[in-house]
Structure 1
Amino acid sequence: MLITPAIVALQGIALSVAGTVLLASGFAGRILRRWDIHSGSELQLRMERQTYLISTLLGFALGAELLSLLLFVHTAESLSSQFVGAMCATGVLNVNAFGFPTLLLKIAVFFLAALWLLLNRVDNRGYDYPLVRVKYGLLMVIAPLTVAEGVVQTSYFLGLTPEVITSCCGSLFSSESKGVAAELAGLPPWPTLVLFYGMAGLILIAGLLFLRWLRLGPLFATSSLLGFGVAITAIIAFLSLYVYENPNHHCPFCLLKVGYDYVGYALYLPLFAAAALGLSAGVIAPFRRIASLQAVIPSEVRQLTALALIGFGLFYALATWLMLRSNLVLLG
């Protein structure tokens, strides 16, 4: 096992988050069974006092979880020089069977944690804790995922031995290989490009309609998640080719390298933020009918939607600029 400050930090975050979420899950079970805002019982008063403390602790823990995704990818990229055959984060994640599952779990928890944090923000603005059952119900979904993430991440780091010879992006993201990555790399550029920009139009239209009619929240949430998936697909299928100016290099991780001006961070950060904000806005909107949130949710949701559209706009603008400035002629 390799020991670096980043790995220690990631393990510390995973342990802290899993511990905090498990501790809060016991309280969440009590909330789901016994919460009654109209009751003046001693138990109800105690839960009302405790929910503020628990929510604050969860806010810090899940906020750290959001950052851990970025730290994990950056750490994988920085370790590429430690393994034979690894040229980027792909090779490091391929060192053992736990690398990519850890990444996928972190992405799933990222979106759920962002949703929980924004639900909690709205709930705290209601005078009667109107979303307390909703957010603690969501916590019960997040809890097993954080535990699984901690276990899988620990297994991954324990299996990082420099003696391992790994395979990198040249073999994984190749149209001649087998698997999901190879299937994405082998997608034809023109149809994928049309889908990519068609999705941009759908997100924009759904967002503008949602700003006008909040009942369209599910449409915007769905389009945000679909847009995220299409964007990742497009990065692998054709956008990365323009950045590398190489028609056979499909890796989504080499974009994070200094040789490409760290352009991957500029692409992924607004994309992930926009998808999380769009999902959250769409999920929160239906609760606008609750009396204590009628004055809160419309403005909150419109703000989240505007930020999501800005994030998607930044991503698509940068992606378009990267294609226009490239010397590669892929679709000529």
Structure 2
Amino acid sequence: MSSIFLSNEILIFLFLQTTIYTLLLISFIYSITILRDWDFKKSTALQYKLEKRSYLVILIISFSLFIKILLFFYFIFSIDNLSHFVVGAMCAAGIFSLEYGEISLFLKLTNLFFIGIWFVLNSLDLKRKDYKYTKIKLLLFIFIFICLTFEYILDFKFLSNIPLNEAVECCSVIFETSSISSKIPFGLVNSSLILIFYILFVLIVILNIQKKSILLLFLIYYLFIYLILQ
């Protein structure tokens, strides 16, 4: 096993990751059983039992996915701390340039996007009494769980392949770009780019406070972030 696993931050991260994954695995199993027999139009004892069970499962999912969001930032913090031990690494970017690093980070960001959509659906579903979005959000959760399973495996592959005795690329090498490729898209300047970024962010916060659907705005926001990073 890589000596990277001797890092306290990495051990804490893996412990939390495993704990949350276990909770999500339990929720995944129960979600399948709920979806299999779910029929809101029926007034049977089984349906009543499924509704009570779904409430508990959704609660566990909500808690686990919220922790996953926080865990992402702790993961970045942990990887950044490893730069003190890895030769040539000045920050987390140098370590993410290693095998499985970039794909692991990309998958985590993608999962955060779907988790955000799930929370929007869950918020809409909680406002209704007919459980209109329950099946949809459980199906989405199943998809998210599959993605999180790949993420969980990639985390171990990525962390176990971090060398301590081999030099990695530093930030100046990773982010070296030509003057053409470093241009901001759409002819924007830095000030206008920052302004648009915060306008979109504030709109998301305001709509969330007003409890309105912000799914489309989330999509626009992430699309904007994707474009400026190209």
Q: Common fold, TM-score beyond 0.5? A: yes
Aligned counterpart for 1:193 among listed residues 180, 189, 192: 189
1:160 corresponding residue in structure 2: 162
Deviation by residue 1:110-159 (Cα, 9 ceiling, x = unmatched): 12223223422332332232211111011021011110111000111112
Taking the TM superposition and a 5 Å limit, the aligned residue runs for 1:1-332 are: 1=2, 2=4, 3-94=6-97, 96-175=98-177, 186-189=181-184, 191-193=187-189, 196=193, 203=200, 219-233=216-230
Give the deviation of 1:224 after TM superposition: 1.6
Q: Is the 1:202–1:223 Cα contact (8 Å) retained in structure 2?
A: no
1:72-111 CA distance string (max 9 Å, x none): 11111111111111111111222x3122222111111112
| Change in 2 beyond 3 A, CA 1:73/1:216 | closer
Counterparts of 1:164 and 1:158 in 2: how far apart (Å)? 14
Shift of 1:225: 1.9
How much is the aligned-residue C-alpha RMSD, in angstroms? Answer: 3.1
Report the Cα distance in structure 2 between the residues aligned to 1:162 and 1:231, rounded to whole angstroms.
33
Aligned 8 A contact 2:83 2:91 in 1: yes
In structure 2, the residue corresponding to 1:222 is in which secondary structure?
A: helix
- Matched position secondary structure for 1:163: coil
Query: Any idea what SS the aligned residue of 1:188 has?
Result: coil
Partner of 2:84, secondary structure, is helix
Shift of 1:226: 1.8
- Taking the aligned partners of 2:8 and 2:126, their CA distance within structure 1 comes to 36
> What one-letter code is carried by the residue in structure 2 that aligns with 1:187?
S
User: Which one has more relative contact order, counting CA pairs under 8 Å at least 6 apart?
Assistant: 2
AA in 1 matched with 2:85: Q
Q: Deviations over 1:262-288 (max 9, x none)?
A: xxxxxxxxxxxxxxxxxxxxxxxxxxx
Gaps of 5+ in 1: 177-182, 234-332
1:57–1:216: structure 2 CA closer, same or farther, 3 Å change rule?
closer
Report the TM-score when normalising by structure 2. 0.81
Q: Provide the rounded CA distance (Å) in 1 between the counterparts of 2:88 and 2:197.
A: 37
**How far apart, in 2, do the equivalents of 1:201 and 1:64 lie?**
25
Q: Aligned residue pairs: how many?
A: 220
What is the one-letter code of the residue matched to 1:48?
E
Return the TM-score normalized by structure 1: 0.58
Whether the 8 Å contact between 2:108 and 2:151 is mirrored in structure 1 is yes
Kept in 1, the 8 Å contact 2:104–2:151? The answer is: yes
Contact 2:31–2:138, Cα closer than 8 Å, also in 1: yes
